Amino acid sequence: MNRLLQVRALGQQIWLDNLSRTLIRDGHLARSIREDGVAGVTTNPAIFHKAIADGRYYEEDLAALKARPLSAEARYEALVIPDVQAACDLLHATWQDSGGSMGYVSLEVSPALAHDRAGTVAAGLRLRAAVARDNLLIKVPATPVGLGAIEDLIAQGVSVNVTLMFSLAHVDAVARAYLRGLARLQAGGGDVRRVMSVASLFLSRVDTLIDKRLEELGEAARAYCGKTAVAMARLAYVRFRERFHGTDFAALRTAGARPQYMLWASTGTKNPAYSDLLYVEPLIGAETVNTLPDATLAALIDHGQVAATLECETAQAATCFEALGGLGIDLDAAGETLQAEGLRQFEDAFAKLLELTAN
C-alpha cells in the first residue's frame, strides 16, 4: 500500500505545505489527492511569494491587476484567492466524504494584524466570504492578541488554523481559546458541528534553537540534541488526549463539536545530520495532521517507515523535558523567542510578496 495511505489508515492526515497554480493546472495536486490521499493544503506568505515570483501562470493576471487602481494587498488577494478556491474544490470530495474532518485549505490573514484583535477578526471574516468555501481554514498566529481573535472567530463559526506555536504553553493557551470560542458559539445558538480547527506546532525550528544552546553547554547536554521537538509533540498529544477525550469536553463532543487536532508544522529537517523524516515517522497518530513540504512528502512516499508511533515513549519525552529544565533551558521562553522570530519572518515574506504586486 502507498505509504501515505498507510498513514491515513492510522488516523493521521497528510497535508501538502505548498500551493501554486502550477500544482493546480499541471494536475499535480489532483493526483496527490486522488492517488496518495493528501488530505489538505497549507499556505503562508513565503509559499505564495515563491508561487507568484516563479510561476508561469501569474504574469498575465498580475499585469492586468497592476493596470487597476488597487492596493498591493488587494492585488495579492485577487491572485491567490482563485488558487485557494481551486484547491478547496479539489479537496471538496475529501471534505464531504469525511464529514468535514478532512479536506481543508488554509489561507493566512496578514501578519501585520498579529497584534490587532479586531483587525484579525475582520480580515478572517472577509477572507472567508471572499473564498466562499466550507473547507477553508483561516490561519491566525497564536500571539497573545491572536488568541482573542481565534476565540472570536470560532465563536462566529469560522474554522481556524492556529499557526506559530512553539511550546506546550502555546498548546494550552490555544486549546483554551478554542474551547472558549466553542462555548460562545453554542451559547449563541450556533452549530458547533460546522467548526474545524487545527493547532499548528512548529518543530524543526525548536530543535534548531535548542540544539544550539545544548552545544554550548558541553558534551553531556549534547545527548539531547535533536530530541526536543519530538518530545514536545508527544507531550502535546498527551495533553490533547486528556483535554478532548476527557470529561471537560464531553458535553461539547455530544453536541457534535470536533477536537482541535494537533498539526505538526515546520517538518522539513533542517539539520542534515538528522533523518529527513525526523518529524514524521515518530509522530504518527490518530486525530493529528502532518503538513509536509514537497521534499519531505517525497521522502515519506519513497522510504518512510509507517507505524503508530506518537504514543510511544511518552515517559522518555517527559524525562527529556525535565532534563532540559535541569540544564537551565526554559522551553516556554524559547517558544516566545521563536514565535517572535517566526512572525518577523512572515512579515518579511509578506512585505516581499506585496513588492511583487505593487506598481
Residues in the chain: 359
Q: Does residue 139 have an active-site annotation?
A: yes
Of 139, 212, 270, 352, the catalytic one is: 139
What type of residue is 68? R
Amino acid 55: pLDDT: 78
What distance in Å separates the CA atoms of residue 49 and residue 244, rounded to the nearest whole number? 36
Reading the chain (359 residues) residue by residue, the pLDDT tens digits are: 799 999 999 999 999 999 999 999 999 999 999 999 999 999 999 999 999 998 789 999 999 999 999 999 999 999 999 999 999 999 999 999 999 999 999 999 999 999 999 999 999 999 999 999 999 999 999 999 999 999 999 999 999 999 999 999 999 999 999 999 999 999 999 999 999 999 999 999 999 999 999 999 999 999 999 999 999 999 999 999 999 999 989 999 999 999 999 999 999 999 999 999 999 999 999 999 999 999 999 999 999 999 999 999 999 999 999 999 999 999 999 999 999 999 999 999 999 999 999 98
* pTM score of the predicted model: 0.96
> Are residues 13 and 290 in contact, defined by beta-carbon separation less than 8 angstroms?
yes
Kindly list the domain boundaries of the chain, sorted by start residue. Answer: 3-357
Amino acid 1: pLDDT: 76
- Please give, one letter per residue, the 3-state secondary structure of 22-91: HHHHCCHHHHHHHHHCCCEECCCHHHHHHHHHHCCCCHHHHHHHHCCCCCHHHHHHHHHHHHHHHHHHHC
Please determine, looking at this structure, whether the domain spanning 3-357 carries the CATH number 3.20.20.70: yes
